[in-house]
Amino acid sequence: MMKGMIVMNRQVQEAVGAVESELISFARDLVRIKSRTGREADLVARIRREMEKLAYDEVIVDKVGNIIGVIGNGPVHLLYDSHMDHVAVNDAEEWVHGPYSGDIEDGKLYGRGASDMKGSLAATVYAGHIMKKLGLAAGKTIYICCTVMEEDFDGAGLHRALVDNGLKPDYVVICEPSHLNIAVGHLGRAIYKINVKGVSAHGAAPEKGDNAVYKAAAIIGRIEELGRKYMAMPPERPSIALTKIESVSASLNAVPGSCTLYVDRRICPHETEEAVGAEITALIGDVDADWEIHDAVGQSYTGEEIVLHSYLPGWEIGHEHPLAQGCFAAYREVFGGEPRPYKWNFSTNGVASAKLGIPTIGFGAGVEKTAHMANEYCPVEDIVQACRFFALLPQKL
């Protein structure tokens, strides 16, 4: 048994080694192609070319523009998810290597999206190829899913990939950067919109109105107080923050008749939508206001409307779950040590798969702290090692 496992790992290592330079040049290409949220068409074309070159069994581009490469047709379905979009570059002058250069220096691939998350994406595309070549997908159907619009609509692209295409994976691996560690969950998040009602009046006669912003001040004070209480709690705590205020008045000479507060609420896995909603109601207290969960609306590059209902529950997977155990086994084999599972401190597409009740876990190439920052990079070695891990995992499930 032990001997067989070692041979298998060595085979994977050799197979990845044989395509390493192609894998890295593919990752560099991905970094060089801009793919802001909702503008991923060029990247999709490049990924399709690579999947076809690598003889994927099937390549699907769906209604919203997700591209899904399929390997195998076995009964156990495993989906690897990487989002294709990246955040903007607003600080190009701070980049030592151009943000779309794809330069490699000291073993680091530089560029916007290198860690978040084109390095991992490239690794999954090549892992699919290795699985096919070595027969590692026997008894499995593998989906290499590259999704649109994660940065502004977390979960919406993957949700559409699953629902529109009728995919029912048994397991989902979110390949966001984890620097080759296993991520077993993260907090959820929600955006609440609190609408405060007032009465507009001429600024010269404010007594005839009821200033909605003054009324909102009481709610703002309570949000701040609750935020401080959460900040004082130990890690894996919820948080609440006021993130934006809007008010409506006829002119700068008019008392505002309404005011909207936007509140970012991070949610622990044990918290329910009802309980968090009750908390928002309590923050409003006796102020004349109501609340709703914010719906973010966008358009995919294919012209499809994407709606993100901004209540995204947190998720976590137990260490005893077969998916976690499979990942731990693959980890030991690839890295020769014990995994140290942890939780991500950011939201991912995992909110979509977890909400659908699909066992979900995280593993990826790249350094999460460089994501969304100037001089973002991904260690080249991470991409190679992640490819080995991804290729080996199906055998452990």
Residue 294 CB, nearest approach to Zn ion (Å) = 21
- Residue whose CB is less far from Zn ion, 238 or 366: 366
Within 302-359, strands assigned E span: 305-309, 311-312, 315-316, 342-344
Whether 40 is catalytic: no
Is 58 catalytic? The answer is no
Per CB under 5 A, does 368 bind Zn ion?
Answer: no
How far apart are CB 16 and Zn ion at their closest, in Å?
A: 23
Q: From the CB of 363, what's the least distance to Zn ion, in Å?
A: 13
Listed ranges 105-113, 171-179, 210-218, 361-369: which one lies at the site for Zn ion (CB under 5 A) = 171-179
Amino acid letter for position 135: G
Q: Which of 150, 154, 271, 333 is catalytic?
A: 150
Using the rule CB under 5 A, is 376 a contact of Zn ion?
no
Least Å from the CB of residue 83 to Zn ion: 6
Question: Residue 40 or residue 176: which is nearer to Zn ion going by CB?
Answer: 176
Residue closer to Zn ion, measured from CB, 226 or 378: 378
Considering only 44-52, 69-77, 113-121, 195-203, which stretch makes contact with Zn ion by CB under 5 A?
Answer: 113-121
In contact, 314 and 185? CB cutoff 8 Å: yes
DSSP state at residue 209 = S
Return left, alpha or beta for 149; rule: phi > 0 is left, psi -120 to 50 is alpha, else beta: left
- The tokens of 30 are what? 């991905």
Give residues 172-231 in contact with Zn ion (rule: CB under 5 A): 176
Helix (H, G, I), strand (E, B) or coil at 226: helix
State the Cα–Cα distance between residues 330 and 345, nearest whole angstrom. 24
Q: Please enumerate in sequence order all residues whose Cβ is within 8 A of that of 231, keeping only pairs 6 or more positions apart, or say none.
A: 237, 239
Cα 25 versus chain centre, distance: 24
Q: Does residue number 116 form part of the binding site for Zn ion (CB under 5 A)?
A: yes
Provide, rounded to whole angstroms, the least separation between the CB of residue 348 and Zn ion: 7
DSSP characters over 273-292: HHHHHHHHHHHHTTSSEEEE
Residue with the closest Cβ to Zn ion?
A: 116
Residue ranges in contact with Zn ion by CB under 5 A:
116-117, 176
Catalytic residue positions?
85, 150
